[in-house]
Amino acid sequence: MEVSNVGVVGAGQMGSGIAHVFAIAGYDVLLTDISADALANAVALIDKNLTRQVSREKISQEGKDAAIARIRTTTTLSDLGPCDLIIEAATERETVKQAIFEDLLPHIKPETILTSNTSSISITRLASRTDRPEKFMGFHFMNPVPVMQLVELIRGIATDEPTYRTLLGVVEKLGKTAASAEDFPAFIVNRILMPMINEAVYTLYEGVGSVKSIDESLKLGANHPMGPLELADFIGLDTCLAIMNVLHDGLADTKYRPCPLLTKYVEAGWLGRKTQRGFYDYRGDVPVPTR
Annotation says 140 is catalytic: yes
Give dist(CA 284, CA 84) in Å, integer: 45
Residue that is last in its domain, among 182, 204, 232? 182
Q: Which residue out of 88, 152, 198, 230 is catalytically annotated?
A: 152
Annotation says 245 is catalytic: no
CATH code where residue 199 lies:
1.10.1040.10
Total domain count for the chain?
2
pLDDT, tens only, 63-110 = 999 999 999 999 999 999 999 999 999 988 899 999 999 999 999 999
Pair (9, 140) in one structural domain: yes
Q: Is 58 annotated as a binding-site member?
A: no
Tell me which residue range forms the domain holding 153. 5-182
Q: What DSSP assignment string belongs to 74-94?
A: ES-GGGGTT-SEEEE---S-H
Residue 35 has pLDDT above 90, yes or no: yes
Whole-model pTM: value is 0.90
Pair (74, 202) in one structural domain: no
Pair (145, 52) in one structural domain: yes
Residue that is last in its domain, among 182, 203, 230? 182
Q: Is 127 annotated as a binding-site member?
A: no
Residue 1 has pLDDT above 90, yes or no: no
Q: Which residue out of 88, 120, 122, 140 is catalytically annotated?
A: 140
Annotation says 128 is catalytic: no
Residue that is last in its domain, among 131, 157, 182? 182
CB neighbourhood size of 199 (10 A): 14
Pair (139, 204) in one structural domain: no
Q: Is 10 annotated as a binding-site member?
A: yes
Pair (140, 263) in one structural domain: no
Pair (160, 204) in one structural domain: no
Tell me what the mean pLDDT of segment 109-118 comes to: 97
